[in-house]
Structure 1
Amino acid sequence: MTETAASLARFVTPPTVPVDARGDWPAGEAALGTRLPGDYRHLVAAYGWGEFCDYLRLHTPFGTSRYNGLAWQSGRRSGTAERDRERSPYPLHPAPGGLLIWGGTIDADRLCWLTTGTPDRWPVVVWSRDGRYETHPMGTAAFIEEWARGRVSSRLLADMEPGPAPWFTAFRPRLHRCLRLTEGPLDHERRLAILRDALAPTVDRGTWRSEQGDAGQDHFATVGTDWLLTYDMARPHQIRISFPPEDAPEAGRRLFAAVRRMRCEVTRISASRGEALPVWGAVATEDTPRET
């Protein structure tokens, strides 16, 4: 692993099972007509397809999802290549010195390489949805780490806010459940501690509180099983969880055991679009696993 990729992996823990992280690199690079940066190849192997801190997305050349893949290929498939060329601040690959898009943001900004010089020295270009752009003289791994540490000065990207250690979410099929709860006799902080202890080990993914302190959300994930949770403290009092489909029985068992320890009762179970379910194991139409 390159030094910059290893540094990022120490700062942001890679997933246990990365998605779309393996494939035929020589064939892909031959089809593309260029070698790709070494740090990017190591990032793909370590992280796969997914998102840093719910904001910055890393694409890979592998897999079959139409939402993944390097963006110049998607542009050709969707018929947007000509429009992209008109809006691009630089030529697009395969033109000499053109842009290759390796990722993006939830705000529809594009993260690119400016393919000048050798691949391991390609700088990163942020190309915003409204056509503005800025160049950062560093590679992919260094750029992601500097952004996650709050050290990238950008007019276009949202800042990484101070808070918990940064995280990475692998884009895999997930089921979604929401458990509406009674309040019970315990205060929120005690209930939260019980919930996290029942699902331990867990890692933070951010917290929000109202100015009055009477509403808020706690976001966290389980380590190893990769379940993503949001615990709403009031209006309504509920737990939202997403998990790989094969984990449904175990996730239900541990979550309902946690609710009992929290001295609450489940009043409603719903799926991702709000459809009420009679029991945990019921399957809603939108629960068919789909790409994120």
Structure 2
Amino acid sequence: MTENVGPARFVPPPTAPVDARGNWSTVEAALGTRLPEDYKHLVETYGWGEFCDYLNLHTPFGTSRHNGLAWQSGRPSGRAERDRERYPYPLRPAPGGLLIWGTTVDADRLCWLTTGTAENWPVVVWSSEGRYETHPMGAAGFVEAWTGGRITSRLLADMEPGPAPWFNAFRPRVHRCLRLTEGPLAHDRRLAILQEALAPTVDRGTWRSEQGDSGQDHFATVDTDWLLTYDMSRPHQIRISFPPEDGPAARRRLFAAVRRMRCEVTRISASDGVPLPAWDTVADEDTQT
């Protein structure tokens, strides 16, 4: 396995990775083991975040309780046969246990089986249902194969990344939802106007009901790292998340787009759905990763 193995050649990394740098020697001393070089390269390239809204890459840096590496641990009880079925791998502090380096939105855990040298650790998927699945590759190779649709798994959900795989850095974001009137234009025309007003953008997938009367369009801005969902109806709204410092620019560009779409804003709300009297009202709890 070489250091440059990984998804960077076709999944654009963030310009400012989050929790991507730190003292690896300190981390390895705390864990009691050396870490694979391909994983270090993966962390330094992407940082803490999410591939395709599904697979979360953890890093050993930063202070968030949602980030970090962790050993599989527990206190099995009952008959030995039942414990071996529930915990087929050693539990720390026994050598050779599972070290968790990632998760999924379905609460599955992505681990290394820490037997042998670090560069040869295979990936073990530990499902939220307590089942296990081994893949003979490192963390970077696993992410590359998964984002490329080349992983066959009984435990992970089928991947639907849209036109191209993507990565979202877990950074503080402000969330706004703009409820809109319908206006005289068709949905496809309104969507085109919205994307033109925020260009350049990249698609993140589309969903439509069987009847075609409801759906969502997901996309992101390339230069500002804003994430958007446009709901075509029931209700007709735009949801956007952006770095806190981009608030004035996001408001200006989005309201200009709504005017061009020939719609009107009827309500503004935060991430919790509570209506806000104005866009500029930002509560501490409204800023999330």
TM-score (norm 2): 0.92
Deviations 1:54-78 (A, max 9, x none): 1111100000111111123xx7xxx
Amino acid across the alignment from 2:4 = E
- Whether contact under 8 Å (2:99, 2:112) holds in the other structure is yes
- Tell me the distance in 2 between the aligned counterparts of 1:284 and 1:64: 22
- Whether contact under 8 Å (1:277, 1:284) holds in the other structure is no
- Whether contact under 8 Å (1:92, 1:100) holds in the other structure is no
How far 1:94 sits from its partner (Å)?
A: 4.4
How far 1:95 sits from its partner (Å)?
A: 2.5
Q: Tell me what 2:117 maps to.
A: 118
- Tell me the distance in 2 between the aligned counterparts of 1:218 and 1:34: 44
- Tell me the distance in 1 between the aligned counterparts of 2:242 and 2:54: 20
- Whether contact under 8 Å (1:181, 1:267) holds in the other structure is yes
Counterparts in 2 of 1:129-148, with a 5 A limit?
A: 129-148=128-147
Amino acid across the alignment from 2:232 = M
How far 1:224 sits from its partner (Å)?
A: 2.8
Query: Quick check: 61-70 or 162-171, which moved more?
Result: 162-171
Structure-2 change in CA distance of 1:84 and 1:65 (3 Å): farther
How far 1:83 sits from its partner (Å)?
A: 4.4
Amino acid across the alignment from 1:82 = G
Counterparts in 2 of 1:235-250, with a 5 A limit?
A: 235-250=234-249
- Tell me the distance in 1 between the aligned counterparts of 2:99 and 2:93: 8
How far 1:163 sits from its partner (Å)?
A: 2.9
Amino acid across the alignment from 2:5 = T
Amino acid across the alignment from 1:281 = D
Q: Tell me what 2:230 maps to.
A: 231
SS at match of 2:279: coil
- Tell me the distance in 2 between the aligned counterparts of 1:162 and 1:60: 23
Deviations 1:8-62 (A, max 9, x none): 1011111111111111111111222211111100110111111111111110000
Deviations 1:56-108 (A, max 9, x none): 11100000111111123xx7xxxxx4248965331134422211110011111
- Tell me the distance in 2 between the aligned counterparts of 1:195 and 1:2: 40
SS at match of 2:176: strand
Q: Tell me what 2:150 maps to.
A: 151
How far 1:207 sits from its partner (Å)?
A: 0.6
* Bigger helix share: 1
- Whether contact under 8 Å (1:178, 1:238) holds in the other structure is yes
Q: Tell me what 2:209 maps to.
A: 210
Query: Quick check: 138-147 or 158-167, which moved more?
Result: 158-167
Matched, 1:4 2:9: no
Counterparts in 2 of 1:272-283, with a 5 A limit?
A: 272-283=271-282
Root-mean-square deviation (Å): 1.7
- Tell me the distance in 2 between the aligned counterparts of 1:95 and 1:66: 25
Structure-2 change in CA distance of 1:90 and 1:189 (3 Å): same
TM-score (norm 1): 0.92
- Tell me the distance in 1 between the aligned counterparts of 2:52 and 2:14: 13
Q: Tell me what 2:52 maps to.
A: 53
Select 2:74's aligned residue among 76, 82, 94: 82
- Length, aligned pairs only: 281
SS at match of 2:267: strand
Amino acid across the alignment from 2:204 = R
Amino acid across the alignment from 2:91 = L
How far 1:139 sits from its partner (Å)?
A: 0.9
